[in-house]
Structure 1
Amino acid sequence: MTLNSRFGERNATPVAVDLFSGSGSVTAALKRAGYWVAAGLDVDEHAAATYRANHPEVHLFRDDIHDVEPDDLAALLPKEGLDLLTICAPCQPFSSQNRKRRKDDDRASLILQALPFIEALRPRTIWVENVPGLGSSKIIRRLKTNLASLGYHFEEPMRLDAADFCVPQRRIRFVFTASIDRRVCSTLAGLSKISKAQPTVRMAFEGLKSLGPFEFDEHDRLHASRRHGEMTLKRLKHIPGDGGSRTSLPPELQLVCHRSLPSGSFPDVYGRMSWDAPAPTLTTGCTDVTRGRFAHPEENRAITLREAARLQTFPDDYEFCGTRSDIAAQIGNAVPMAMAYAMFEQIHGCTRSWTSD
Structure 2
Amino acid sequence: MNDRIPNIAAVDLFCGVGGLTHGLVRSGINVRAGVDLDPHCKYPFEANNNAPFIERDVNDLSSDEIKSYLSQGEYSLLAGCAPCQPFSTYSQSGRSKKRVLDWQLVLKFGALVADLQPDLVTMENVAQLAHHEVFSDFLKYLTGYSVHYSIVECTKIGVPQSRKRLVLIASRMSSVGLSLDSQFGAPLRTVRHEISKLPAISAGEQHKTDPLHTAPALSDMNMRRIRASKPGGTWRDWDEELIAACHRKTTGATYPSVYGRMEWDAPAPTITTQCFGFGNGRFGHPTQDRAISLREAAMLQTFPRNYKFLPKGEQVRFNRLGRLIGNAVPVRLGEVIGNVLMQHVRSVEAGETAVLPDRLF
Query: Deviation per CA, 1:96-149, whole angstroms, max 9, x where unpaired?
Result: 699x9565423222111112321332111111111111010111100112212x
Which string of whole-angstrom CA distances, capped at 9 and with x for unpartnered residues, describes residues 46-105 of structure 1?
A: 1233212223x423220111222111111333376752111201011112699x956542
Distance 1:231 1:20 in 2: 39
After superposition, the Cα gap between the structure-2 partners of 1:235 and 1:291, relative to the gap in structure 1 and judged at 3 Å, is same
Per mean C-alpha deviation after superposition, the further-off stretch among 288-297 and 221-230 is: 221-230
Aligned pair in 2 of structure 1 residues 80, 54: CA closer, same or farther (>3 Å)? Answer: closer
What are structure 1's unaligned runs of at least 5 residues?
1-9
2:95, 2:301 → 1: CA distance? Answer: 27
Match of 2:172 among 170, 180, 183: 180
Q: Which residue of 2 aligns with 1:208?
A: 198
Distance 1:328 1:73, change over 3 A: same
Pick aligned residue for 1:63 from 51, 56, 71: 56
Counterpart in the other structure of 1:25:
19
Q: 1:124 aligns with which of 116, 119, 125?
A: 119
Q: What is the CA distance between 1:29 and its match in structure 2?
A: 1.1
Task: Note the residue ranges of structure 2 that are not aligned, 5 or more in a row.
Answer: 311-315, 352-361
- CA distance in 1 between partners of 2:52 and 2:95 (Å): 32
Aligned residues: 340
1:297 shift after superposition:
1.1
Give the Cα separation in 2 of the matches to 1:23 and 1:222.
14
Distance 1:258 1:91, change over 3 A: same
Amino acid in structure 2 at the alignment position of 1:190: D
TM-score in terms of structure 1 length = 0.88
Partner amino acid, structure 1, of 2:36: D
- Structure 1: 4+ residue segments shifted above 4 A: 79-82, 100-103
Identity %: 34
Contact in 2 for aligned 1:41/1:62 (Cα 8 Å):
yes
State the AA in 1 paired with 2:69: L
Q: 1:192 to 1:58 in 2, by over 3 A?
A: closer
Q: Which has the higher contact order (CA 8 A, sep 6+)?
A: 2
Are residues 1:140 and 2:135 paired? yes
Report the CA distance between 1:264 and its aligned residue: 4.4
Q: Which amino acid aligns with 2:331?
A: M
Distance 1:88 1:82 in 2: 20
Q: What is the root-mean-square deviation of aligned Cα atoms in Å?
A: 2.3
Residue 159 in structure 1 maps to residue 127 in structure 2: no
Shift of 1:330: 1.0
Aligned equivalents of 2:29, 2:207: Cα separation in 1: 35
Deviates more, 1:259-268 or 1:137-146: 259-268
Q: Secondary structure at the match of 1:221?
A: coil
Equivalent residue number for residue 3 of structure 1:
none
Tell me, in whole angstroms, the C-alpha distance in 2 between the residues paired with 1:212 and 1:256. 27
